[in-house]
A and B are shown apart, each in its own frame.
Chain A
Amino acid sequence: MSSLLKVEGLSKAFGRVVTADGLNFEIHAGQITSIIGPNGAGKSTLINILSGTLAADAGRVFLEGRDITRLPTHRRVRLGLCRSFQVVNVFPDLTVFENIQIPVLGIVRKAHHVFRSLRRERGVTERVMEVLGQLKLVGRAHDLASELSHGDQRLLEIGIALAVKPKLLFLDEPTAGMNPVERVETLETIRRLSATGRTTFVIVEHDMDIVFSLSDRVMVLHRGEIICDGTAEEVKNDKQTRECYLGEEVIE
């Protein structure tokens, strides 16, 4: 199994609060990995550091062997590392089509064309329709993003991240705020896309059903440390994890 992302001695503290305490781990290509942990465990901080919005105090991050510790966000995205957000984070007053068009333009390095008409970019249009097809949002292409239902906006949110063809994609609570039907559909989409092998998913989630049904591997984060790392089964039976986080009633 090849290592896609490698993290070495990653540390971050806000004042006295340590949110990452010398983390060492690897993410393997093709495995759906989940990161769980109680509130304040450092999950969001970890994603923010890995995606380039926060600078780490110490440690290094490698993507496919390349040191990306100091790269700005947009360079990481172009190398194939992207994320989605916990709350709806789209371009609300642009159409659904344009929402996907921006990341596609960004990644094919055509966004800086000042004089060419957008309509002429056939390849970009095709790719946008392909992404919308994956999300089953083709029918809504010309509606404003803000006119979509909450669930569809969450889906579009994932779509914007997928549009850059990431090798590694962090999904921050991808199904938060969705109804049960949308939730099942979104999980199916993630499973299907993961099976194609082009994108490796890392999911941060609170919902244990989702975590245990979807993940090949689960990492438990607690106060900036990884206290357990293994298959869903192993994590369920881990004593320390139960104590600090899961609570007996969750695991029946």
Chain B
Amino acid sequence: MGRYLPYMAFGLLIVLLVCIGLFADRFVLYLTMRVMLLSIFALGYNLLLGRTGLLSFGHAAFYAAGSYGMALFYLHINPDPLLGILAGVGLAVVASLVIGFFCVRHTEIYFAMLTLAFGMMVFSLIWNLRDITGGDDGLVGIGRNPLLGFSIAKDSQYYFLVVFFFALTVWIIHRIRSSPFGLVLAGISENHQRASFAGISIKSYRLAAFVISGAFAGLAGSLGAMLESNSDPFSAHWTHSAEPVLVSLIGGLHTFSGPIVGSVLFVVLREIIERFTQNWMLWLGIILLVIIMGFRGGAMGSAEQYLARWGRKFREESAS
């Protein structure tokens, strides 16, 4: 029973998403898409942070690589959406390979600062290379051509493409986490010295995790560019790099579903709070404080602990 619970939850989630796609109004649709994009970003990112134990402050660079890769491919080479996404993810993979190569030689604060430095370099490149990237205007006019004969021009149609990539991401990340590779990543984060004495080349595994997380950031970026029909230079800003960190923290670093739950909370809470006050950041700070001090392990982490405690109590009571 317990083993099938995640699959049932996943099935329910997809059904819910399809229902939203069929019946919800445009605003809810848009918000749900933003949640899914952030989830894709954060699910990949948490493979690096929660699993491998590496805190990156530069992943906005790969999101932007996806976004600009998609936009440039659309504007200059081919307007096919699927090829565009492929180009975006491809550019993000190349960028994360190059940047990752230098960063994974270090850990902890040095790794974090290096990723931050590279992220800022990417941002200023995008900002200054006006002829290519459009500078502070970004790249505009990205249309949504039919995909394999299906129109995705309307948001209500495009929505299902986003659902598809969201489901794909959940499936892939789940497979990775339950694979030998996923276990080795957990081992590296627990005790990297011992992992190398298990015959594991730590740097290669760290780099692999870095590139995978970069690829998903790129996927989120290229889908985002299509959603907004432009590429925004601020998507490369280091403040955007903080989003997957915060979302993973809120949802639970060491859980699979944490980044998804965190994304829902993040987007929905911001939407609600911004209606009442300008000070979204103040409230986000308070929410983070409560979660970090009161709910160790994030929303899903503490839910799991609570369920485990409750289950033990239940068994003890029924045994006596």
Contacts and interface: CB of A to CB of B under 8 A. Distances in A.
A and B, one complex? yes
Interface of A: 51, 53, 72-75, 77-78, 82-83, 85, 89-94, 98, 101-103, 105-107, 110-119, 121, 124, 160-161, 163-164
Given A93-B190, A118-B183, A164 B198 contact: yes
Interface stretch (B74-82, B174-182, B274-282): B174-182
- Interface centre among B180, B183, B184, B202, by most A CB within 10 Å? B180
Provide the main secondary structure of the chain B interface.
helix
B197 A102 contact: no
B181 to A, nearest CB: 5
Contacts of A90: 191, 194
A103 B183 contact: no
Given A90-B191, A90-B194, A98 B183 contact: yes
Interface of B: 175-176, 178-184, 186-187, 190-191, 193-202, 205, 208
A126 B7 CA distance: 28
B183 A89 contact: no
Nearest to B181: A114
Nearest to A85: B194
- Complex A-B, nearest 5 residue pairs according to Cβ-Cβ distance, in ascending order: A106-B199, A103-B198, A77-B199, A91-B190, A106-B198
A163 B253 CA distance: 30
Contacts of B200: 74, 102, 106, 111
Contact of B197 (A73, A110, A117, A121): A73
Contacts of B191: 89-92
A164 B199 contact: yes
Contacts of B186: 91, 94, 98
A74 B175 contact: no
A3 to B, nearest CB: 23
A106 B175 contact: no
B175 A111 contact: no
A107 to B, nearest CB: 5
A89 B183 CA distance: 17
Contact of A115 (B176, B183, B194, B201): B176
Contact of B202 (A74, A78, A121, A124): A74
B194 A73 contact: no
A103 B193 CA distance: 12
Given A116-B180, A117-B175, A118-B182, 11 more contacts: A72-B201, A74-B196, A74-B201, A98-B186, A98-B187, A105-B198, A112-B181, A112-B184, A113-B179, A115-B176, A160-B198
A82 B197 contact: yes
B119 to A, nearest CB: 26
A117 B178 CA distance: 6
A101 B183 contact: yes
Contacts of A51: 197
B211 to A, nearest CB: 11
B180 A74 contact: no
B26 to A, nearest CB: 37
Contacts of A98: 183, 186-187
Nearest to B176: A114
A102 B179 contact: no
Contact of A117 (B179, B190, B201, B208): B179
Nearest to B175: A115
